[in-house]
A and B are shown apart, each in its own frame.
Chain A
Amino acid sequence: MKPLNKDLFNMKRLKVSLAMAFWLSVVTFPIMVIKINTINDTVIWRWGNLALIVILGLFGSYIWNYALDRMKERKGESNRLKETLSGLYQRLRSNPKVKKPVLAAVVLVIAAFPFITSMYSTSILTTALIYVVLGLGLNIIIGLGGLLHLGYAAFFAVGAYTYALLYQYFQIDFWIALPLGGLFAFLFGLLVGIPVLRLRGDYLAIVTLAFGEILRIILNNWGPVTGGPDGISRIPRPSFFGIDLKLQGSINLTYYIMVLMVVITIIVVRRLEDSRIGRALEAMKEDEVAAEAMGIDIMKSKLTAFALGSMWAGFAGVVMAAKTTKVTPDSFGLMESVIVLCIVVLGGMGSIPGILLGAFIFKIVMEYFRVFAMYRMLIFGAVLVIMMVFKPDGLIPKIRRKYTVEKEGA
């Protein structure tokens, strides 16, 4: 076996990169260089773009292949960066003198956040926290349950519209709507799950996608009840015991609600993983037939995971409706489901810190990316591909607990 080349400079890699740059410039030539406008029949030749592609292709391909080679080589050895970081944690954790102040500092910043930053920052962080809850909820379904779900936004919509409709027709307060939103999402999850969970893999994916779209279309078309494409507006933000908070106050309150919700969700998910149902799901994910043979009721487990996961989307939906004061069907389409899916997979399926990080990248880093204006989504698409190629298990993959058996002496 040839030793993989981990040197920075390498002739073979250079040749590959040159070839790639060449092919890239050939293939992208029409779209990059020839700008057409058939509305007023003009054609503009932009040769500058050709040079751009050649240069980008050359460097990009070179760095790409280098990184790939490094990654392949690293699969054998242990990840030294991870080890140093990991070692750092261990030392921090075991040193109570460091741990307690750090913990205290974090808690302090979280608590004081709205008062030390602007309305914009608080707003963004709140949105990110909503997506954390969504990610954790979807994680129960795909991470714990191993079910591929492309229609999660539908349950998000159920929560949001529950509050919106209850407010519009019955003037129900936010605090009452919150548990109801979760309840309805849970029930809807059961309803959808029963016919659907018999399907495998990609078929399950397409059916969940179908359900998501069906709900969205019904919400869009059923004008008299749901407000149609315009949805429902002027939904009140959360209030604190009837005190009328100004805008700033409501935004801060929403933030604290979300912090609390995230904490509760993390605790619940942790408990779930360790519970009977959690272990049943993990066994089922490994090998369904073996799990069934061990006496696990597959359908019941899947259904529980599905409905439980959906419930969290309901809670998040209620808060989202209160935060934005307006719900429309288009807010809960396929792209929304895809975004939550990306958060879970990018962060690391099944790993709580991973999902935190995933939601963070999605919402906060994407906000930072606003400086790139129109290039934002382009860069984002590229980032998704790069992340997946180099870290297919997610940024912070779930660590499987291993039990080692000590062997007696030979």
Chain B
Amino acid sequence: MKKILFVCSLVLLVSVFFVGCQKDTGVIKIGVAGPHTGDLASYGIPTVKAAELVVADWNANGGVLGKKIELVVEDDVCDPKVAPDVATKLIGEGVVGIVGHICSGATEAALGIYLDSSIPVISPSATNPPLTKSGAYPNFFRTIAPDDAQAILEVDFVLNTLGKTRIAVLHDKQSYGKGLAEFAKSFIEQSSNGEVVLFEGIQADAVDYSAVINKVENAGADAIIYGGYHPEASKLVSQIKEKGINIAFISDDGVKDDTFIEVAGSAAEGVYASGPNDTTQDPIAVKARENHVAKYSEEPGAFFYNAYAATQALLTAIANAESTDYEAITSALTSNYVDTTLGSISFDENGDAIGVGFSMFQVQNGVYVEIK
């Protein structure tokens, strides 16, 4: 009994020191939340780098509203159990806006808390449609197209442009990939000129996909729509090529990544992927990339441009609103256009981005080329 008391006292003593920091009136704090360790770290870390670059840029020009901008970076390991705690911490730190979270599940778990404290949230990668379309989270915005928008584009392309009719829809059983795949499936089923011959999930991180590929071949499919990220996609296309199967492969913006081409090599040739309109010639995007390479000695990673745009949009909205008040920021976000790495964007009343156009790309001669 006494030992329990001792431990309790210790616990309480230490916990009390978690009193949130006083709001520093000299700086403006922006929170960045996402997975920085664990399984999905490769999808969360580039966002941190993007935010760091934007903030460094703005601070060099005097910050915003005459104050320096400070980033508060927190790791939510993409876990909806951890995300609410991260949210309470960031709020305690006095942030005025959030860039994040990265995974739809974690984002949703945290949004209720942000909403209650009136904090605007802009995500570069949470694509689950209900986040904006359900209307439950008026404080949520995103600089990426939701799953259904991408899916309809891909389905339309496969059926009407490529003229395929027997589609195998694959996904990686995770929120992003499966969400997109399910929309693709229902769109194909609603259409009159296509059928879904196979709908299966593959295990992410597995070593070999030849069994599923055999199944696709056996089903007589003439195209594959894959919902997921580039690591699995590269393994899939390589193993498809090894088997000598000639089949159209269409995927989403998780695959429209140069790493995909590097890894898959010649197997990537001819692969289609949807992604934000090609803005790599855009001066802002070019400069962002240069800064990234200069500072981190490597190419930007997943969702970098989306995160860069999100941070730009948030800071610009604060500047336009001339305040850090929630109502002012959100109204600035929906009423102004901001020049970002994704082009000139704004947000609709649900929080989805306007001006982030999506198109289909194809790997031609080792580079993603936009198909007009």
List the interface of chain A (C-beta within 8 A of B).
37-40, 42, 44, 89, 92-93, 102-103, 106, 109-110, 113, 116-121, 123-125, 127-128, 220-221, 223, 228-231, 233-234, 246-247, 266, 320, 323-328, 330-331, 352-353, 356-357, 360, 364-365, 367-368, 370, 373-374, 376-377, 396
Contact = CB atoms under 8 A, between A and B. Distances in A.
Given A330-B105, A370-B75, A376-B75, A118 B80 contact: no
A382 to B, nearest CB: 14
A317 to B, nearest CB: 11
B62 interface: no
Closest 3 CB pairs of A and B: A121-B18, A353-B3, A118-B20
B3 A396 contact: yes
Interface string B1-39: 011111111111011101110000000000000001110
Contacts of B173: 220-221, 229
Most chain A beta-carbon contacts within 10 A, residue among B81, B262, B299: B81
B253 interface: no
A364 B10 CA distance: 11
Interface centre among A42, A121, A364 (most CB of B within 10 A): A121
Contact of A324 (B16, B83, B89): B83
Given A92-B2, A326-B109, A331-B80, A120 B10 contact: no
Interface stretch (B162-170, B175-183, B188-196, B218-226): B175-183
A53 to B, nearest CB: 21
Nearest to B203: A217
A234 B130 CA distance: 11
Contacts of B108: 233, 326
Given A117-B18, A229-B173, A123 B85 contact: yes
A172 B116 CA distance: 24
B74 A370 contact: yes
B8 A110 contact: yes
Contact of A367 (B18, B19, B20, B178): B18
A247 B12 contact: no
Contacts of A360: 7, 10-11, 14
A38 B37 contact: no
Given A38-B262, A40-B298, A228 B178 contact: yes
Contact of A39 (B6, B117, B299): B299
Contacts of A220: 173
A80 B301 CA distance: 54
B299 A266 contact: no
B320 interface: no
Contact of A229 (B14, B91, B112, B175): B175
B259 interface: yes
B80 A373 contact: no
B298 A37 contact: yes
Contacts of A228: 178
Contacts of A356: 4, 7-8, 11
Contact of B15 (A40, A266, A364, A370): A364
Given A121-B16, A328-B80, A331-B81, A374 B37 contact: yes
B285 interface: no
Contacts of B16: 109, 113, 116-117, 121
Contacts of B136: 234
Contact of B88 (A42, A123, A368): A123
B201 interface: yes
B89 to A, nearest CB: 5
16 contacts: A39-B262, A106-B9, A110-B12, A113-B16, A118-B18, A118-B88, A119-B91, A120-B88, A124-B15, A223-B182, A229-B178, A352-B3, A356-B7, A365-B14, A367-B89, A373-B75
B128 interface: yes
B79 interface: yes
A247 B112 contact: yes
Interface in B48-85: 73-75, 78-81, 83-85
A320 B92 contact: no
B258 interface: yes
A351 to B, nearest CB: 8
B298 A118 contact: no
B125 to A, nearest CB: 15
A320 B81 contact: yes
A121 B136 CA distance: 27
A406 to B, nearest CB: 27
Contact of B85 (A113, A120, A229, A328): A120
Contacts of A266: 4
Contacts of B9: 102, 106
B161 interface: no
Nearest to A358: B7
Contacts of B117: 247
A325 B136 CA distance: 13
B5 A376 contact: no
B239 interface: no
Contacts of B74: 370
A7 B266 CA distance: 64
Contact of B84 (A123, A328, A377): A123
B36 A373 contact: yes
Interface string B304-325: 0000000000000000000000
Given A331-B81, A376-B37, A39 B8 contact: no
Contacts of A117: 15-16, 18-19
B11 to A, nearest CB: 5
B246 interface: no
Interface in B191-219: 201
Nearest to B21: A118
Contacts of B179: 229-230
Contacts of B38: 377
Interface string B83-123: 11100110110000000000011001100110011000000
B174 interface: yes
A227 B134 CA distance: 16
A119 B94 CA distance: 13
Nearest to A396: B3
Contacts of A246: 116
Nearest to B201: A221
A89 B2 contact: yes
Given A234-B136, A246-B116, A229 B174 contact: yes
B297 interface: yes
A119 B92 contact: yes
